[in-house]
Structure 1
Amino acid sequence: MSGSRHDALLVDLDGTVYAGPTAIPGAVEALEAARDRGQTVSYVTNNASRAPGAVAGHLSELGLTVTEDDVVTSAQAGAAVLAAQVDPGAKVLVLGTDALADEITAVGLTPVRADDDGPVAVVQGHSPETGWRQLAEAALTLARGALWVACNVDPTLPSERGLLPGNGSMVAALRHASRREPQVAGKPAAPLLRQAMERVSSSTPLVVGDRLDTDIAGGHAIDAESLLVLTGVSTPADLLAAPADQRPTFVAADLAALTDPEAVRVRADDGWTAKVRDDGSLELATGGPGGDPDARVAALRALCASHWDAVGDATRTPVVHGADDAARRMISALGLDAGR
C-alpha cells in the first residue's frame, strides 16, 4: 500500500481480524507487516460490549502490537454523540455492558439502568445479557420521548461457531416496540469512523472490513476508499449484487492484500474476462495468467467490474454463466451457481 495514498488503516475486528477469540489465519502477520512498514493501524469496531483496554489486551494476546489508544469502539462513538446533545451530568439509560456505562461516565454523563431513575436518553450496545427486562426499561424511557442512540445496528455478530444475533437484532425489537428510530453512532454511520480519523489525524484512510452494509458503507459515508476481505459476513453473491453505496474499492481473500491493495482493485483482470449478455446475465471466461495468485477473487473482481458498470447505481442479482469448464468450476467455487 502506498503510504502517500492512505495515511491510516481503519480496520474492523469481528470477521476481519478475529472470529470470536481466534485470529483469522494470516491476519496478525499482515497487520504487523503493515505496522513495520510505518503505517498507522487503528482498530475500529462496532462491538460496544468491551472496553478499549480489554480489546487491546485480546489483540495483544493474538500477537499484535497495539495499545488502548489504537482501539476505537462504537461505545465511545455513542457516548460522544449523546454528550453533544444532552446537558452535562444528564442521566442515560444504558442498555448494554458495564464497558458501555463506563464510556457514558467518561463523557460526563450519568449511567442508570432503570426508567424510574429518570433518564433523558437511551444508549444501546451489544451485550449477551440483554433480555426482556432490560428492553422493557428502555421502551418505557423511549415512550417518554427520550433521545435514543444505538452504538450499531449490525443484525449479526461473527463468531467461531457462526453468525450470532448482533446489536441490530436487539435494536429491531426495541424499534418495533417503541415505533421509534435511533440515531446510529457506529458503522455505516459516520461518527465512529470520523472519531477514528480524528484520533490519528487522518485525511485519506483506507477502511478495511468484512461487511458491505457496515464497513464498506461506512467508507462511503466518510468518502474513503475501502477494502473488503472475504473472511467474515459478506459473500461473493452479496458483493456482486451490492448497491452503489456498498461497493468496495478493493476486494481480497484476506488481509494479506494490505501489502498492495492496488493489486486487488475491482476492475477487469487479465486472468478472467467477464461480459454482460443481452439478457443481462454475466458470462465468465478464462483469460491469461492474471495478476492475482488467488484466482477465485480475481474472477470475482472481474465479474463485479462488468456487472456494476452495466447496472450503474441499481441493484440486481445476475445469473452467471461459464464460457468454459474452468469458468464453470470457478462460478461454483464462488457460490454463484446457487438456484441455477
Structure 2
Amino acid sequence: AGDALRRLDEAGFSIVFVTNNSTGTCADVAETIARLNGYPASPDQVITSAVAAAALLAPDRPASMVVGGEGILSALTEREISIVVDPSVAEAVVVGLDVDFTYQSLDMAASAIRKGARFIATNTDVTFPGPGDLHAGAGAIVAAIAAASGRTPTVAGKPHSAIRALVKQRLVPGPVWVVGDRPETDLAMAKAENWNAALVLTGVVSDPGEVPSGLEPDLVNASLSEFADVLTSDRLSGERRSDPGGPV
C-alpha cells in the first residue's frame, strides 16, 4: 500500500485518509499508516469518525458522556467540550468502539439519553476486519444503547453528512475518488456526493457481487496498488478520467 500511495503522491493527487475507527487520534492513525505501510502520513491528512462527532457538537459544546476510547476524548477536548461521567448532567452521549464496554456503561448511557441527552454515534459499523476474523464493532455497542434507550442516534462517520463536510474542507480542485472496501460506508459516501468510487477487494468484501444495488462502484480493484496503476495510467477516459485532484 505504501508504494501505491507514493505513486499517487508523485502523480499529483492529494490524499486524505477517512476512517470510521474512533479509538485513536489522528496522530495515532497517521503513525499506524506509517508503521504498517511505510508511507509518511501526516495527522493533517486524517479524518476520523471521532473528529466528525466532535464537529457535530462543537457549535453548542454540550457536556458529554463518552462510551469509547482516547480518539473520542481527544477530539472532544480539542473542541473544548467538557467530559462528564454522571448521566444526570450529561447533555450528550458520544458512542464509539469501546473494548472495555460493560453493562454499567450501557445502563448509564441509556439513562442519560432517556433523560434528554443527545445520542451521537461515531459510526454504526457492526463489525470490522481483524486478525483471522471479523470482530464486533462500534455499531454493535450503538445498537445496544439504542435498544436500551429507545432512541435513534445521529451518526457522524461514513457515509453521513458530518464526516463528508470535513472531507470537502480538505479537497483540492479536481475529480475525487473514494477508495474503500466497505460498500455501505465508503461507496455510499461517494454516491452521496457524486464522487467517483473504487472498491478494493482486500477487506470486508471479496466479491463484487456482494455490493448492494445502488452502490455499484466505478472501479473494482484487487488491491490499492492495482487502483494506483489504473489512476496513474491512461486507462480511464471521459468524465471518469481523474486529473490530479483528490482521492480519499
Same fold by TM (over 0.5)? yes
State the partner residue of 1:255.
224
State the partner residue of 1:278.
none
Contact 2:16 2:170 in 1 (8 A): no
Give the Cα–Cα distance (whole angstroms) in 1 for the partners of residues 116 and 4 of structure 2.
47
Q: Identify unmatched segments of 5+ residues in structure 1.
A: 1-26, 266-340
Seen in structure 2, the aligned counterparts of structure 1 residues 204 and 149 have a Cα distance that, compared at 3 Å, is farther
Matched, 1:113 2:88: no
- What amino acid maps onto 2:56 in structure 1? V
- What amino acid maps onto 2:134 in structure 1? L
State the partner residue of 2:127.
156
| RMSD, matched Cα | 1.8
Per the TM alignment, residue 263 of structure 1 is displaced from its structure 2 partner at its CA by 4.4
Give the Cα–Cα distance (whole angstroms) in 2 for the partners of residues 126 and 230 of structure 1.
24
Of the candidates 115, 138, 161, which is equivalent to residue 190 of structure 1? Answer: 161
- What amino acid maps onto 2:8 in structure 1? A
Give the Cα–Cα distance (whole angstroms) in 1 for the partners of residues 96 and 136 of structure 2.
12
State the partner residue of 2:29.
55
Seen in structure 2, the aligned counterparts of structure 1 residues 203 and 75 have a Cα distance that, compared at 3 Å, is farther
Per the TM alignment, residue 259 of structure 1 is displaced from its structure 2 partner at its CA by 2.6
Contact 1:228 1:248 in 2 (8 A): yes
Of the candidates 168, 171, 188, which is equivalent to residue 217 of structure 1? Answer: 188
Deviation digits for residues 144-188 of structure 1, max 9, x if unmatched? Answer: 121111110001011122210011111111111111110111112
State the partner residue of 1:38.
12
Deviation digits for residues 78-112 of structure 1, max 9, x if unmatched? Answer: 1101123x3x4x31111111221111111121012
Give the Cα–Cα distance (whole angstroms) in 2 for the partners of residues 198 and 66 of structure 1.
18
Give the Cα–Cα distance (whole angstroms) in 1 for the partners of residues 129 and 85 of structure 2.
27
State the partner residue of 2:213.
243
Contact 1:251 1:264 in 2 (8 A): no
Per the TM alignment, residue 264 of structure 1 is displaced from its structure 2 partner at its CA by 8.1
- Equivalenced residue count is 232
The DSSP-based 3-state class of the residue aligned with 2:177 is strand
The DSSP-based 3-state class of the residue aligned with 2:40 is coil
Give the Cα–Cα distance (whole angstroms) in 2 for the partners of residues 127 and 115 of structure 1.
18
Contact 2:56 2:156 in 1 (8 A): yes
Deviation digits for residues 26-49 of structure 1, max 9, x if unmatched? Answer: x22111211122211111100000
Give the Cα–Cα distance (whole angstroms) in 1 for the partners of residues 110 and 87 of structure 2.
9
Contact 1:250 1:264 in 2 (8 A): no
Give the Cα–Cα distance (whole angstroms) in 2 for the partners of residues 130 and 29 of structure 1.
37
State the partner residue of 2:52.
77
Give the Cα–Cα distance (whole angstroms) in 2 for the partners of residues 134 and 125 of structure 1.
12
Higher relative contact order (CA 8 A, sep 6+): 2
For 1:294-313, what aligned pairs fall within 5 Å after superposition?
Answer: none
Which of structures 1 and 2 has the bigger CA Rg? 1
State the partner residue of 2:245.
none
Deviation digits for residues 235-274 of structure 1, max 9, x if unmatched? Answer: 32312xx121x22111111112223248489xxxxxxxxx
State the partner residue of 2:244.
none
Give the Cα–Cα distance (whole angstroms) in 2 for the partners of residues 98 and 60 of structure 1.
20
Give the Cα–Cα distance (whole angstroms) in 2 for the partners of residues 49 and 202 of structure 1.
31
State the partner residue of 2:144.
173
- What amino acid maps onto 1:106 in structure 2? E
For 1:113-152, what aligned pairs fall within 5 Å after superposition?
Answer: 113-116=85-88, 118-152=89-123
Q: Identify unmatched segments of 5+ residues in structure 2.
A: 238-248
Per the TM alignment, residue 203 of structure 1 is displaced from its structure 2 partner at its CA by 6.1
Give the Cα–Cα distance (whole angstroms) in 1 for the partners of residues 121 and 173 of structure 2.
25
TM-score, scaled to structure 2: 0.88
Residue identity (%): 32
Of the candidates 59, 69, 75, which is equivalent to residue 97 of structure 1? Answer: 69
Contact 2:198 2:221 in 1 (8 A): yes
